[in-house]
């Protein structure tokens, strides 16, 4: 099992590189990613989360009680629904924090397999959410950034200032977001 990289490490905050060589090394990377994901009780893992800046992500949402498993190499969202879903997300690279994030309800994604062959996968609901979370990772984007993009966080804080638990969560998210922005503005 590989060690999971935590937010603040640059490898998580810059876009990863396209995979061009489909070889045994890639196969080993994917095996290590699945092992690390399952042992960490995650439902998805991007290669940069173990420090490898390549466009590879593994997803298996079965541990969360849903259906969907795929290994994505060089994935691209080709089309998506107009409808969004809103649900809490967490991330192995941001331990202990859960925030609501808007995602497309359904997506169509083009990707390559281990041999470099192109495929299309259609996904919806929880599985689609997990795929979008991982594709974001490959672009150097964390779910915390999506939360700030989608919501007026200062207003939420003001409107909920009596809710101690909510304030604590949002203050934590703000600290993480500020740290990411500092890295990205360097």
The site for Co ion (CB under 5 A) is made up of 91
Confirm if 61 and 67 have CB atoms less than 8 A apart: yes
Catalytic residue among 110, 134, 154, 165: 134
Rounded Cα–Cα distance for residues 148 and 151 (Å): 5
Shortest Cβ 82–Co ion spacing (Å):
25
Secondary element (H or E) of residue 183:
helix 164-185
Nearer to Co ion, 91 or 173 (CB): 91
Task: Clarify whether 149 is annotated catalytic.
Answer: no
Nearer to Co ion, 33 or 91 (CB): 91
For Co ion, the nearest residue by Cβ is: 91
Secondary element (H or E) of residue 62:
none
Contacts of 62 (CB under 8 A, 6+ apart): 43, 68, 69
Instruction: Specify the residue for token string 């599985």.
Output: 127
Shortest Cβ 49–Co ion spacing (Å):
7
Confirm if 59 and 135 have CB atoms less than 8 A apart: no
Shortest Cβ 136–Co ion spacing (Å):
8
Contacts of 157 (CB under 8 A, 6+ apart): 167, 170, 171
Rounded Cα–Cα distance for residues 181 and 162 (Å): 28
Nearer to Co ion, 6 or 62 (CB): 6
Terminal Cα distance for the chain, rounded: 32
Nearer to Co ion, 26 or 130 (CB): 130
Shortest Cβ 137–Co ion spacing (Å):
6
Q: Catalytic residue numbers?
A: 134
């Amino acid at each position: 099992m590989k060690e999971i990289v935590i937010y603040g490490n640059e490898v998580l905050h810059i876009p990863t590189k396209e995979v061009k060589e489909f070889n045994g090394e890639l196969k080993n990377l994917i095996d290590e990613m699945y092992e690390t994901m399952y042992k960490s009780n995650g439902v998805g893992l991007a290669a940069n989360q173990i420090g490898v800046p390549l466009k590879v992500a593994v997803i298996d949402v079965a541990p969360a009680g849903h259906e969907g498993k795929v290994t994505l190499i060089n994935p691209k969202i080709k089309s998506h629904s107009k409808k969004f879903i809103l649900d809490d997300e967490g991330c192995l690279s941001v331990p202990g924090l859960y925030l609501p994030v808007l995602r497309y309800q359904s997506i169509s994604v083009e990707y390559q397999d281990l041999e470099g062959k192109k495929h299309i996968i259609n996904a919806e609901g929880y599985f689609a959410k997990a795929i979008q979370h991982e594709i974001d990772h490959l672009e150097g984007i964390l779910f915390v950034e999506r939360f700030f993009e989608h919501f007026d966080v200062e207003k939420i804080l003001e409107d909920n200032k009596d809710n101690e638990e909510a304030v604590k969560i949002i203050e934590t998210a703000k600290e993480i977001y500020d740290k990411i922005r500092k890295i990205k503005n360097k």
